[in-house]
Amino acid sequence: MKGTKRFFLEIAYDGTAYHGWQIQPNAVSVQEKLNLALQTLLRTEVETLGAGRTDTGVHAKQLYVHFDSDNILLINSPDRFVHSLNALLPFDISVIRLLEVEASSHARFDATERSYEYHIHFTKDPFLVNKSWQFRDRLDVPRMNEAAKLLLGKKDFGCFSKSNTQVFTNICTITEAKWVEVAEKLVFHITADRFLRNMVRAIVGTLLEVGAKGKPISYIDEVLASQDRSKAGTSVPAHGLYLTKVKYPYIDPIKE
């Protein structure tokens, strides 16, 4: 289409009410709601593609999606466009900004780094329902952090992935993996160039085997060497997981 340009949207959402990011039959997704709002505003069919896919109940503090359009509103009034789009979206999905990018830019393949957090709390708190996982027992955080260091680097993480995911490689490079205590909460931070399906939730469950059940720190190395999902810990619930950051070489982060 003549005059068509490519745009990135930076969005955030509470994943509680959705069956993940990606459109799927017989289930409500974030992508479905976003596409519908875009089509209503632009009065034409719009297809979006996200930087990744989050599972049912998983939240995103930052996700980028791209789409193509020739609508002049996107060029002349980007702030107005964002305001209007937010007005059409449900309360639990927010558009943060619109960016015009090169025609070859790709929200998924151009991302160089992704970060996640997993939130755990220990006392009953009605304001954390569906936002953090309540864990009954106290955890040995120093030992879990020692175990997390064994995840760093370029490795095959197939032991933490769902089976039959149709990926070409299980190799990922993790640059950060650590637990941080915040008041009465515990937050796991992890950053990598890419992630496999269910990888973060499986890693957290495996680290809890060290911190709660007394497995040795070397257990992480044993699981990695096994390349066997059944050797790793149980996946933790989705509602404690947040996609927090996606980096691109050509996008400057919003200054705090």
Q: Which residues are catalytic?
A: 55
Q: Residues 102, 6: contact at Cβ < 8 Å?
A: yes
Q: Which helix (H) or strand (E) holds 145?
A: helix 141-149
Tell whether the torsion through CA atoms of 165, 167, 170 and 172 is positive or negative: negative
For residue 174, give the nearest of 220, 229, 121, 136 by alpha carbon.
220
Q: Residues 217, 147: contact at Cβ < 8 Å?
A: yes
Query: Which long-range contacts (C-beta less than 8 Å, at least 24 apart) are formed by 79-83?
Result: 81/41
Token pair 């992630």 in the structure block, residue? 195
Q: Residues 252, 101: contact at Cβ < 8 Å?
A: no
C-alpha 25/C-alpha 253 separation (Å) is 34
Secondary structure (3-state) at 43: coil
C-alpha 53/C-alpha 137 separation (Å) is 31
For residue 241, give both structure tokens: 């997981």
Q: Which helix (H) or strand (E) holds 11?
A: strand 5-13
| Burial of 183 (C-beta count, 10 Å sphere; 0-12/13-18/19+) | exposed
